[in-house]
Each structure stands twice: as C-alpha cells, then as structure tokens.
Amino acid sequence: MSESYPKKEKLKSKKLIERLFSEGQSVSAFPLRLVYLQTTFDDDVIAKTGVSVSKRNFKTAVDRNRIKRLLREVYRLNKTLYFNNITTQYAFMILYIGKDKPNITQVESRMKRLFEKFSGKISEQ
RNA sequence: UAAGUAGAUUGCCUUAUCGCUCUUGUGCUGAACUUGUUCAGCGCUGGGGAGGAAAGUCCGAACACCGUAGUGCAAUAUAGUGGUUAAUUACCACCAGCCGUAAGGCUAGGAAAAGUGCAACAGAAAGUAUGUACAGGUUAUGCUGUAGUGAAAUCAGGUAAACUCUAUGUGGUGCAAUGUCAUGUAUACCAGUGUUUGAGGGCUGCACGCUCGAUGCUGGAGGGUAGACAGCUAAAGUGUAUUGGUAACAAUGCACUCAGAUAAAUGAUAAGGUAUUUUUCUACUAGUUUUUGGAGUUCCAAAAACUAGUAGAAAAUGAACAGAAUUCGGCUUAUAGAUUUACUUGAAUA
RNA sequence: UGAGAUAUAGCUUAAUUGGUAGAGCAUCAUCCUGAUACGAUGAUAGGUUUAGGUUCAAGUCCUAAUAUCUCAA
C-alpha cells in the first residue's frame, strides 16, 4: 500500500455517508473524531475516507480548506502504519471538532492516537 | 518641507522530496462489436491548475425551460440635459444646488396653478385664516408697519425616499434551469372531489377571453431513487499598437489560449532568501544644551551629551483580506504593504 | 448555488398611517419581620444592530453593511 490518496479511496457516495452516520460507531481523540462502519465496496480498496470541518466553528472557507488539507495529508502519510493488518473493508469519516486552528504536528500526534484507539477497539471484538 | 485631494499599477520568491486534479502522446491488459475503432483499468512521459476582490448577491445581461395569440386593471422600477454600452439603478461629459481655504466631494435633481392627505409642542391662528398690543393713517372702520411662537405666518407657502400625476420601461423561474441514460418502486391503501351538467391545469398578480383536459385532481399515511454523461468553459476573451472621440468608449492590425472540482482538486514538509517591523552598533548630516579656547557683547572654532533623519552591519520577526462552483458587465464590502502620476493649501529659502 | 425573514433596557416584549420610546421579570434603596421570603413604595438602566441619506423632525421612509435564523433536489 503506497502513500497515495487517490479519488478511489475518498468517501463520496451520499448514500453511504448517510448510512455511516446513522449506523456507524465512533472513537474520539480531541480535537478529532472518527466515525467508522464495516461494509463492502465494489472497488478493491481497504478503506474509503472523508474529512469534514464544521462551518459553525470556522467562518471562512480558507480556514476550513486548510484544516481539511492537513487532515488529508496526515491521513495519507500514516495510513500504512495501521491498515496493513486489516482485511475487511471500512468507511471512515474524520471530523475536526475543535475551535482553534491546528498545526501539522498537533494533527499528526492526535491522528496516531485516534487510530491506536480504533485498532484497539477492533481487536477487542 | 508639512498637511491633504484625485487616480493608476502590484498583491512574495527559489530549490528538493512526497502527494491531488484535468489533460497531450504512448505501451500493456480486459471488454464490446461494425475488425480497427470505441470504452475501462494500470504504467511511462510532457503540459495546465484560484482572485483583485474568486466574497456579498445589490443591479444588468447571456443561456435554458414554462404549450410565449390577446385586451383591460393592478403591481413595480427609474426620473436635470446629452452621450456610451449587449444591457442597467452602471459609466462619461455638461448644467444646477449644498459642503470644503483649495485641489475636490455629495445629490432618487420631473410636477405642489389637477386632486386627496399631513404638520407634534409652542402659538390668537398651520386655510371653514387674518386675533391682540403699540405706532402711522382715518371723523370712525377698513388699511399700513412692528412685536412674540415656530422648521414654516399672509393676497401664501412646505411636504411627492406621503398617496398621487406625468414620462419611460417591465411575463415568470433560475445550471438544484434543462436534456439523455442507468438503477429502483406502489397505476397499490384511506378520505374528499370530478368525467361533456367540466374537477383541475396553461396564458404565472387579478378579471375577461382563449385553450388543454380524464388510469384525473386535492389531502393523509407510506414505497423508491438520490448515480453517470451533456449543459461546462474560445469568450460582449486577454495583451499590445495605431486611429477617431473632451471622455465613457469604438474601429482596425498583430500576438496569445489562460482552472474545471463535485463530502468538492490547486497541498504538505524541509532548507534558503526578499518586503516589513523591533533592538543594538558604526558613519555622515541637521538642531538643542553644556564646557573650553579665540574675538569682545554676539559671533567663530573644538569637544561631550541628547533628539531627528539617511546609509551600512548584526540579531530577532517572517506577509493583509481571502478559496473558483453556468458564464460575463457593473456596484458594494474586506485588505499588510510596495511602486507611481497629476493637483491643492500652508511655511521656509532663492 | 439560489430564495426569503428578523434585530428595541440584563431577559421577554409594546409603540394606531413620521411628532421626541412604554410594560412585565430582573437589579438597587426604603418600609414590613426577631431574620428571610411574599407584599408595598421609589429609583436606576436605551441615542431602538451599524453607517449614510430624505425630512423642521426617523424606532418608523430609502440605500448600503453586520449578525442570527429559515426554505428549495
């Protein structure tokens, strides 16, 4: 699995997103929150992932774009650490629920913590 | 030199690594059949990839659909004169009024002798008007002047960003428009209403009139889809030169092709630099103060301290407002700074 | 992306067609009580979200902005 994040791995289907939020489970590591759902895709990928930032907390589109880009970048660089052992397919949505603008190191440390919690929870089941 | 006025241009850069999106060319694999094309996936390679406001959605258009015959009423917008434009409530020129010492700025700037309304408080009185006091004048009254209230007070005025009148203009809905394909379902159930005795729809505010019209229409409670492609980026395009015009702008020539995403691309990290800001040091220039020396009653020279400016060096800082969403033309609002043109006023010097 | 609505004391709200902004709760003081609550009396607090304009006069009319909320496949 390479360090790329092409279109195929993005969560785009409106239907799937609605299912994800109604049926999915979540773990959080402030200021991040991960909503996940075990499912199956037609494409040959392990996970489809989307990111989201609330308009309520960040008024301007520039701030929201910046945070979403950081989240995508950190996800891209770190996903191989956790997903090589997983066999089933998942849909993910990463939400940023904080109210201050973060930098790359903060996002990276919290993202790692988030996926450690996630894989811990998966292995329990 | 200080303070200002009106514009114009610009809106950080370089390298490396890892990525995102669109796309030219090309190779491999698979599918379809019309058998050499098309489509899909993967790889290699080359190229493009946010703004002056992309924002607000305040105007105007293009474009698309609504089965665009019509008449009347209503509603609504605009308002000096002339021009520009695809078009406008935009822009340009001129006139008038107000503000400013000036350069300049602002103005919905038609009509009150067509009609209706409104004017708190104060004041005799704010139009079914003309009172009181004093003075003038008169036989006396009418009359004339002054006074006080108020924004406005006598043969009338004000107010139309009050109704209105006049002139000119206006069909509605917005790319979530609209078309094609794919997937999937319920022409089922309940209540009301209707089928030539006409429900309801269209002409999109209303009426008339015209027209369509039956597995219909309205409500309830539910079922399904929510994907792809087109629309979609070569245009009232950008740059530049010449000519015409006071100008807005127009015409012609030459050159160029410059985002197209859709839970929504244009990024991340590292290193270095520029603008800016702050501090310190050095040099120069100007001013003030003090001391010393000369001259001798306000001048000259030197030194020190402080202040200001300019230049250089070192350290720290490290770029405002803000992110395309069908496309254009304006307007409005946000914006660190940098560059630059013209003009005005004051002071000083020549 | 498009289409709308609202904004008045700390809070909830009035203001009849432009005429100079009221109520209730809350707060403070005094009275009542041994003290508190309830009750009574009085007082304070607003340039009506912001900036311009029209008018003699603007919460009200006009224009622009800001914030909050709603609707549309």
Q: What is the pLDDT of residues A13-63, one digit of tens each?
A: 777 777 777 777 888 887 788 888 887 766 667 788 888 887 777 777 888
Helix (H) or strand (E) holding A113: helix A104-124
Protein-to-nucleotide distance from the CA of A11 to the C1' of B189, whole angstroms: 39
Asked whether residue A84 carries a pLDDT value surpassing 70, the answer given is no
At residue A110, the pLDDT reads: 84
At residue A95, the pLDDT reads: 84
CA A5 from chain center: how many Å? 12
Asked whether residue A3 is assigned to any structural domain, the reply reads: no
Total tally of structural domains belonging to chain A: 1
Q: Domain holding A118: CATH number?
A: 3.30.230.10
At residue A1, the pLDDT reads: 43
- Domain housing A37: 8-124
Is-above-0.90 flag for pTM? no
Asked whether residue A31 is assigned to any structural domain, the reply reads: yes
CA pseudo-torsion sign A52, A54, A55, A61: negative
Q: How far apart are CA A69 and CA A37, in angstroms?
A: 23
> Is the Cβ atom of A69 within 7 Å of strand B at any atom?
yes
Q: Are A111 and A75 in contact (CB under 8 A)?
A: yes
Asked whether residue A1 is assigned to any structural domain, the reply reads: no
Within 7 A of a protein CB, which nucleotides of strand B?
Answer: 18-22, 42, 50, 226-228, 262-269, 322-324
Nucleotide nearest to A60 (CA to C1'): B322
